[in-house]
Structure 1
Amino acid sequence: MVVRDETVFAHTPYDGSRQPFTIGLAPLDLKDWIEPDHHFEAHLAEKERLFENAVAPVFLAEADTVPAQGEVLGLLLEHLPRRFPDVYSVSGGAVTLLASGRRYEFADFGGRPLLLAAKLVQEDLVIMRKGEGGYRLVAAALAFPSSWSLAEKFGRSMPEIHEGVPGFNDGRMGPVVARIFDNLAVDRPVWRLNWSLYSDPELHHPMPKQIDLRVTDTSLPGLHVRVERQTLRRLPGSGNILFTIKIHHDPVAAFAAHPEGARLALGLRRQLLELTPEQLAYKALCHARARIAEDLLRLAESCGKSSKQELAAAK
């Protein structure tokens, strides 16, 4: 099992290494395709609960996507035991999660192989298929949405899915993404990161996001930075595109224990202050930005690891 220290954040795109509201794709080494961490058991247990009891749909698929779903499951069953032999075992028509002993029979998921695939990994899984209006969302196991509804987006094209995202349909991003999808080669998967802020630690957010000022007014303890790690790869048989979406949901207050906490707090503050009014509204931070920026500066000062020049520049 790949386990990381809870005080060392896995991905920090807000440190200046990425810019928000940009495509920011990088080549993906397939050995790093799936990313289990110390939340593995908790996240999979939450997925099981949601697949059984969620009010908002967390699994939807068009009937003719079963072969593509099977491709996804096949790729995972090939990759996971080889990359993580202490976590997965595949034999006798079943896959077993070794830590928990949970065993899934393939025959039980003949009509929904993507659901089984999603039960094996922390990542959510989304299949996009090209149609007359571009690539559409045709199947998804989406337990941990970041403020969007699978029911509303299902069957829709990329422009429709990203309606309201600043710069996507009213700028260059949408056409560039369409070209990337068209040109994505089977042997050239890619990945990207984005971040947002939430005032609770919940993973399942199917409703539009609102920062709770009652939390942010009491400083940072309730605030979480949510990073999505997305990978894209073309399925070799169907030609569909698979998104994986891994959620890292970390308390901002944990910067205090991070060796680079001051730098991360200042980086997040800088990107927060640089957001345009449209971007700020999309992230639901219009009313909370000033207070969060103040708190991040105080946090950086308390870490005591920033240079005087960095703090002076931040002020």
Structure 2
Amino acid sequence: MNDFDGGGRDRPAPAGPPFSHTPYDGSARPFSVGLQPLDLADWIEPDARLVEQLDEKERLLAGGGEAPVLLAEDSTQDAQQEVLDLLAAHLPHRFPDLYRREGEAIRILPAGRTVALSGSDDIPLGRAARLVQEDLILMRASPQGYRLAAGALCFPSSWSLTDKFARPMTAIHETVPGFNDGRMGPMVARIFDNLPVGRPSWRLNWSLYTGPALHRPFPKRIAADGTDPHRLARDEASGLHVRVERQTLRRLPKSGDILFTIRIHHDPVAAFARHPLGGQLALGLRRQLLELDTAQTAYKGLTAGRDAIAEGLRKLAAQIQNDKNH
């Protein structure tokens, strides 16, 4: 499979928010690998928030966040350039209404600005990060397993690039329930070891946060307040949001490193009320919440608030059904 297999220009761009992905509807199981084959035409997911999120990336890459968002080992320069070159080939071809190649630069049409493809003012992964909403992580083989060798991480979900940089998979995931003391860790290690160049993959996971902020490098804790569905409906911005990570894996053909992309989709829980299947989504999220064990609940920051959130989701689903009936 090459970078343009699967439709190229003839395939429409992905739909915008809300609810691009809903893994909590029962289609995916929390704390499982759940990898699916990826059509490279769907590798990158721009949507209506492209300009807004690229503006936020610019702010963070300029040092405006609580934690560093761009780190790289010196030996990864060629692999970083490989990532940038892949994006520079893919984006104008796949999304000609959004991106245009202009010599040694890519113009992001809706943003009205260009990103240079070479120069001395930034490392290549920083340039690549300025093109897409996805965060970009380079994983490199080592005697201890694949380690995080370079990363542009503007929108972390409660982890810090500084804390995980240069560490192997086992250390990166030491707080994930079932990763190092169950089947998940060895399974992921085998996937990384054996991932062919022409067989990229993708997966989804979800979490809950208060508010829509994307840059979240610190641990989360969702308390019982702010979960009443009527309050959420009145004030979405300060209410509970469901945050979905769409992750992709592909082995880079030249360097052999693995590129891990993370695309954040976040939507207010109150928006279930405007979704055609909102009641089902609310009940699916409630069911997954209640099926989490103690360690999983703590990892998701929901120990104090899970029962109240579950009750709020039940009431919200009932309210949606009642509105449909009237």
Relative to the length of structure 2, the TM-score reads: 0.90
Q: Is the 8 Å Cα contact of residues 59 and 65 (structure 2) preserved in structure 1?
A: yes
Check 1:13–1:93 CA distance in 2 against 1; reply closer, same or farther (3 A cut): same
* 1:108 aligned onto 2:112: no
Which AA in structure 2 matches 1:170?
A: D
Q: Aligned AA for 2:319?
A: S
> How high is the sequence identity, in percent, across the aligned residues?
61
One-letter identity of the residue aligned with 2:300: K
Counterpart secondary structure, 2:304: coil
Please tell me the root mean square deviation across aligned C-alpha atoms, in Å.
Answer: 1.9
Of 285, 291, 296, which residue of structure 2 is paired with 1:274? 291
CA 1:5–1:185 in 2, change beyond 3 Å: closer, same or farther? closer
Contact 2:65 2:215 in 1 (8 A): no
What does 1:182-261 align with in structure 2 at a 5 Å threshold?
Answer: 182-216=193-227, 220=232, 221=236, 222-261=239-278
Whether contact under 8 Å (2:25, 2:284) holds in the other structure is: yes
Does the alignment pair 1:11 with 2:18? no
What are structure 1's unaligned runs of at least 5 residues?
A: 309-315
Distance in 2 (CA, whole Å) between partners of 1:213 and 1:288 is 4
How many Å apart are 1:212 and its aligned residue?
4.3
- TM (norm. structure 1) is 0.93
Q: 2:95 aligns with which of 76, 84, 92?
A: 84
Amino acid at match of 1:38: A
Which secondary structure does the structure 1 equivalent of 2:129 belong to?
A: helix
Q: Distance in 2 between matches of 1:287 and 1:212?
A: 5
- The number of residues matched between the two structures is 307
Where does the alignment leave 5 or more consecutive residues of structure 2 unmatched? Answer: 1-11
> Are 2:106 and 2:115, in contact at CA under 8 Å, matched by a contact in 1?
yes
* 2:185 counterpart residue number: 174
For residues 307 and 171 of structure 1, what CA distance do their matches in structure 2 show?
44
Please give the secondary structure, in 1, of the residue aligned with 2:211: coil
| Distance in 2 between residues matched to 1:109 and 1:226, nearest whole Å | 36
Separation in 1 of the partners of 2:91 and 2:32? Answer: 31
Contact in 2 for aligned 1:262/1:306 (Cα 8 Å): no
> Secondary structure at the residue paired with 1:238?
coil
Distance of 1:161 and 1:258 partners within structure 2: 36
Residues 237 and 3 (structure 1), Cα distance of their counterparts in 2 relative to 1, 3 Å cut: closer
Q: Against the structure 1 CA distance between its residues 110 and 16, is the aligned structure 2 distance closer, same or farther, given a 3 Å change threshold?
A: same
Amino acid at match of 2:42: D
Are the structure 2 counterparts of residues 270 and 290 from structure 1 closer, same or farther at C-alpha, using a change threshold of 3 Å? same
Deviation digits for residues 5-24 of structure 1 (CA, Å, limit 9, x no counterpart): 54x51000000000000000
The answer for the alignment partner of 1:154 in structure 2 is: 165
Distance 1:139 1:20 in 2: 27
**Structure 2: how far apart are the matches of 1:79 and 1:92?**
15
CA spacing shift, 1:5–1:62, aligned 2, 3 Å: closer
Q: Give the deviation of 1:110 after TM superposition.
A: 7.1
The whole-number CA distance in structure 2 between the counterparts of 1:100 and 1:133 is 42
Contact 1:2–1:38 under 8 Å retained in 2? no
Match among 50, 60, 65 for residue 71 of structure 2:
60
